[in-house]
Structure 1
């Protein structure tokens, strides 16, 4: 599994063929097939484990509501991509062990979109905020494959510092409406 993960994380799924995996792992084809029925099964297991890690990052980032939750997730994802080969490999994969949509990347970007939509429920421009969170997160993730500096917390934070005022204003607007509604209630 480690050899397959490294081949995908440092390249692409096509690099994780039988010969390359066996060579990188230092095992025979028979040894590989003793543990796994197919290469697809190995790759699907990598996806599943990466999904657990990335969804855990999302849970932690979005658990504490706040305008900066998408930024917290985006920065945490960048850190994981830079430091964790499993996450780097897994984002490229689908649950069936292929690169076909929906890949883990697609799943997590949909999650970011849904979380922002839910948090900005009373904003008329909530779809725009959700789209913006996806664009920033996807952009940082994609650019990092060519230059890992994009995954750096400081670089991602610098970009989010420019975007966060839009999310903060959305949160203030919702809080103000809730406060106004509570003030109108009879005592």
Structure 2
């Protein structure tokens, strides 16, 4: 479930009191939309507080229960959006150790349950960040770059909730043109083709 801006604000107020050690990371995810591994892997050296910007060039992935550092998922994933000398990470636990991605997700779920908030995944904060920005009038290209998407089309398809959103944020002709070559999860592609059957039609059929 993608939360509204009001729900996000209420949850962050709750987290600030109930989980002050985790609140800064959740706030960053809710309003800038990094992936879980990217937020966890944010490096001290890539945070420029004087300029109010960060560079996302690293993420922490979980493989077989073990964590490892790796580059973001794609070239477009490398982007610009008390410091700990041991881990080199910006977001750390109170004792200075790195957060495990799974423990962040578990804490998030417990906070939701205790605070009686609507069900949501940690990853949904990323979608909330995009939706809040788009509805506030931020250009879709800016939002796409912030999220590390390879195309603005992908951003719109992920975040649009209604047909009105789709037509407001993306030219329909552009969408039809790039649709055959656009990679999307099978479920997401089926959803949009059910909503807009012309996307599944051959180009000549649409033109006629």
Give the shorter-chain TM-score range.
under 0.3
Larger Rg: 1
Which has the larger share of helix? Answer: 1
Q: Give me the TM-score of the superposition, normalised by structure 1.
A: 0.28
Which has the larger share of strand? Answer: 2
